[in-house]
A and B are shown apart, each in its own frame.
Chain A
Amino acid sequence: MSELLKIDHISYSYHSLEGETPALFDVSFNVMDGEFLGIVGPSGCGKSTLLSLIAGLLSPSCGSIYINGKDIKSSGKNIGYMLQKDHLLDWRNTLKNVTLGLEIQHKLTDNSYVQINDLLNTYGLITFKNSYPSELSGGMRQRVALIRTLLLEPDILLLDEPFSALDYQTRLEVADDIWGIIRKEKKTAILITHDISEAISMADRVIVLSSRPGTVKKTFDINLSIENRTPFAARSAPEFKDYFNMIWKELNHNEQKE
């Protein structure tokens, strides 16, 4: 695996008349090609800010972000970003929601419809092609949002607490779904969550951020001794509890210092 993304000593502060809010401080880490990276941290520690920086929606106050060794602005690489909620547009049906990104980037061709049909078929949405978001379940909506992102053929997928709006049971199902899709499409992904179990069950590596201003506290490589790993199966791996305790301690330690 080669290095795909390099976060190099970045800091970021929000400015308002009430003052400056340092959100991230001196964050550095790398992401390998094809890796599934989990990032956990207390709420408000700058996780969403970090993804906005990687997606190029914000520019770091200091430091740089590289993809394949090139600065992110000039790399020409596509970055897919899934927000906390699916944000399907309720006046568009499934098909029109899925094509939104392609429309915006003027990449919608007859060929894309073949690909869209394939994806909708594979992920159990084909019968809901003409349905409106209000007719879809939470899990289906999340999958539509993911397909909308995948169609832009991102080199890196950013997921910002994508399951936090779902109830617990749906959450486990959708985590399996989304994880399966990402693995099958061989995408590099960064998953943000404040749910430790979710991070361990899905990621190859978990980074723990400190509370605000966020900085990298510790990194855990997740090695689970189970076959046919899925997020759900991972939860019953013997090492799962140990990882949970280690990460929990790291997060908690961090809170006490505050």
Chain B
Amino acid sequence: MSRKNRNVSSESLDISTAQLAFIRRHVLRTRRIRIYQIVILIGFISLWEVTAHYGILNSFVFSSPSRVMKTIISMGASGQLFYHTGITLLETLVSFFLVNFLGIAVAVILWWNYSLSKVLEPYLIVLNSLPKSALAPVFIVWLGNNVKTIIVAAVSVAVFGTIINLYNDFKSVEEDRIKLIHTLGGNKRDVLFRVIIPSNIPSIISQMKVNIGLSLVGVVIGEFLAAKAGLGYLIIYGSQVFTCVYILVLFRLPLSIYLCLNRLIEI
């Protein structure tokens, strides 16, 4: 035991030259990766601008970086951009929380009740394999042309997969860990709260990461069809706006939400 302690302290005090060299190599490699990433991005944008400028690329369909920039600036100035981004963000967050809440709650209920899980299993699999974007028109007829439809569409994209994945993770907890709780005098509730949930925190978090993307896609699909505002609505709104917003949706929004969530998880 004492030997282990000494090892730890010697590691943190004097760093050998080999260790320094290793760290230096690591830093260099990280920097090189970053540089390549930036070069690819700049290259892509320049190529796009040049080909659009000389008419190689149909600039009506594909627009061009400079025009995208102009649109962003003018939309930003009029406050329109923030408004629509905000709407989509809000709808995404609401769907995201609903998906996670429903997913975890239903997975727990299915884990708790074996017969119920067997009864519902085929239905869940069918619902999960349905093309959810094709259901959106059904939701419009059912719920009307409003935000409710968008949220329901987004939730339907992610919720069934979440339930199935989490339920399977819950079920695959080692049998002996459950036995341990029973040997310590615990009941099913103790098993749930002291073993099943805590041992599945990593899988819940990785499911949440997947759900951010899925909720966003679901919301945008919903907005294509049923919205009066939001990025999905903008994409439909005009071909000029099309490319610009497409980029925003694809890169900026999920990226910032991912970063926010990662920050949250690290705390």
Contacts and interface: CB of A to CB of B under 8 A. Distances in A.
A148 B186 CA distance: 14
Given A57-B179, A84-B176, A104 B201 contact: no
Given A101-B185, A104-B185, A91 B180 contact: no
B238 interface: no
B201 A91 contact: yes
B257 interface: no
B195 interface: yes
A52 B84 CA distance: 62
Given A83-B176, A83-B179, A124-B1, A89 B184 contact: no
Nearest to B179: A83
Given A104-B186, A152-B185, A89 B198 contact: yes
B176 A104 contact: no
Contact of B181 (A55, A84, A104, A137): A104
Nearest to B195: A89
B176 A85 contact: yes
Nearest to B2: A127
Most buried by A among B1, B174, B176, B198: B1
A128 B180 CA distance: 22
A87 interface: yes
Contacts of A81: 183
Contacts of B183: 55, 57, 80-81, 83
Contacts of B51: none
A89 B200 CA distance: 12
Contacts of B1: 124, 127-128, 137, 140
Interface size class of B (residues with CB under 8 A): 10 to 19
Contact of A104 (B5, B194, B198): B194
B19 interface: no
Nearest to A90: B199
B190 interface: yes
Interface in A11-44: none
B194 A87 contact: no
A17 to B, nearest CB: 15
Nearest to A92: B198
Contacts of B184: 100-101, 104-105, 148-149, 152
Contacts of A148: 184
Most buried by A among B174, B183, B194, B201: B183
Contact of A89 (B179, B190, B199): B199
Given A89-B195, A100-B194, A57 B176 contact: no
A177 to B, nearest CB: 13
A239 to B, nearest CB: 35
A105 B201 CA distance: 24
Interface string B68-87: 00000000000000000000
B190 A83 contact: no
B25 interface: no
A105 B185 CA distance: 7
B185 A87 contact: no
Interface in B183-214: 183-186, 190, 194-195, 198-199, 201
B258 to A, nearest CB: 24
A59 B152 CA distance: 48
A57 B187 CA distance: 11
A83 B199 contact: no
CB-CB nearest 5 A-B residue pairs: A81-B183, A101-B184, A104-B186, A87-B180, A104-B190
30 contacts: A55-B183, A57-B179, A83-B176, A83-B179, A83-B180, A83-B183, A84-B176, A87-B174, A87-B177, A87-B180, A89-B177, A89-B194, A89-B195, A89-B198, A89-B199, A91-B198, A91-B199, A100-B184, A100-B194, A101-B184, A101-B185, A103-B194, A105-B184, A105-B185, A127-B5, A137-B1, A148-B184, A149-B184, A152-B184, A152-B185
Given A89-B194, A91-B198, A148-B184, 5 more contacts: A85-B176, A87-B177, A124-B1, A140-B1, A149-B184
